[in-house]
Structure 1
Amino acid sequence: MTTNADRRRPGRPPGQSDTRDRILASARELFARNGVDKTSIRAIAAGAGVDPALVHHYYGTKQQLFAAAIEAPIDPMDVLRPLREMPVEEIGHKLPALLVPLWDSEAGQGFIATLRSLLAGSEVGLIRSFLQEVIATEIGPRVDNPKGSGRLRVQFVASQLVGIVVARYILELDPIKSLPADRIAETIGPNLQRYLTGELPGFT
C-alpha cells in the first residue's frame, strides 16, 4: 500500500508549491501596483504570509522574482548586463539581435503568452515596470544626452520592441511573422540606435 509520505518527492516539504504560488501572486500584485523599485522583498513576503528569507530561497533576487512574475525565459538582467560594457553607439543594433532570437525560442513562448495575457488584462503595470524601471534604469543614464532625454529615448526604443512583439507573436502579421530573427534585428537596429544617440526633436 502506497502512503501519502511515499508519494511525496524526497526532501520536498509539504506546502512548498502553495508557498511559491503565494509569493508569486503577491509579487505580481505589488509589482503591477507599485513598480519594481518601490516594491520590497519584505512587502512581497508580508503579502504572501511568509518569511522574507523564503522569497530569496525560492526566487533569489528581486530582479529574478520579477522575471518569474512575467515568465521571462531568463533573468532580464542577463540580457541587459552585457550592455553595460558595450559602447552606446552599438546598443541599438545589439538589443534586437539579443531579444528577437530569445522570443523566438521555445523558452520565450511562455513570456509571449504571459505578455498577451497582460496586455488583455488588468496587470499592464507589470509591463510598464519592466520597460520604465528595468530597461530605463540600465540604459537611460548612458544615453541622457542632451540632459533629460534619456528616459524618452528608452521609451521610443521600448515602443519599437513592443511593436515587434505584438506584430510578430500576438497578431502574427505576415511577413513579419515569418522573417528570420536576424533580418528583423538588422532592419530595426539602425532605428533603435537613432532613438538612443541621434538627434531628438525638442532637445537641444
Structure 2
Amino acid sequence: MLQGVRHGGVKSSGCSDTKIMILFTAEKTYLLGLTASNWIAITATCITAFIVIVGLFQWASSRKAHMQSHTPIIRTDYRMPNEETEGYVKITNCGLGPALLKEINIYINNKKVLGDLSNASSEAVKKIASSSKGRLEITELQNFQEGYPISRDESKIIIKFFLSGLNSHVNFQNELIKQSVQVEVKYKDIFERSYVSLDPQPGKAL
C-alpha cells in the first residue's frame, strides 16, 4: 500500500511569480516607447473624449431642431378695394414660432417713405390713390413698437381703406404695380436670430 508523501516546509512561489510577471508586463515599453499602463490611460481618455463629442453633437442637433421648430415667417398680403369691400395691407406670421417685430418700412419705386409706420403707409396709399383718381377714405392705421410679438398664424393690419370712383379700383391696382410699392418687415425670433421679408418680391406681381 502506497504511503502519501508529505511535503514539509516548502512554500509555493506561484503567486509571487505572477505578480512579478504582471509588474514586468506593465512596465515593458511598446509602440512609441509607451508602457501598457500609458496605453490603457490613453485609451480611457480617448473613449471619454469620444463620449463627450457624441453627447455634444446630439445636443447641437437637438438644439438645431428645436430652433427650426420655432422659426417665424412673415408674409405681407394686399387686398385691393372695390365698391363693396375695403382694401388693406396686412402682415401674417406663417411660420412655426412667434415673430418679434423690429421695424416695418414702406417703399415706392425703391425709395423708402419717411415717417413712422402709420404716416408712411398713409402717405403711400394717398399717393397711389391720387394717381388712380379715386376718393380715398382711410379707416384703420397701425403702429407697432419694437419687440411687438406676432404669434403663429396671427395677422395684423397695417392699413385699411375704402376707395370710390369710376375705374378707381382698377387704376389703383395698376398704379400699385407701376410704382412698385413694397413692404419690408424686419423681425427676429425668440432666439434673437434676425430676418427680413420684402413683399412683393422684385419682379413679382401682387
The structure with the greater share of residues assigned to strand is 2
TM-score by length of 1: 0.22
The structure with the greater share of residues assigned to helix is 1
TM-score by length of 2: 0.22
Q: Which structure would you say has the larger Rg?
A: 2
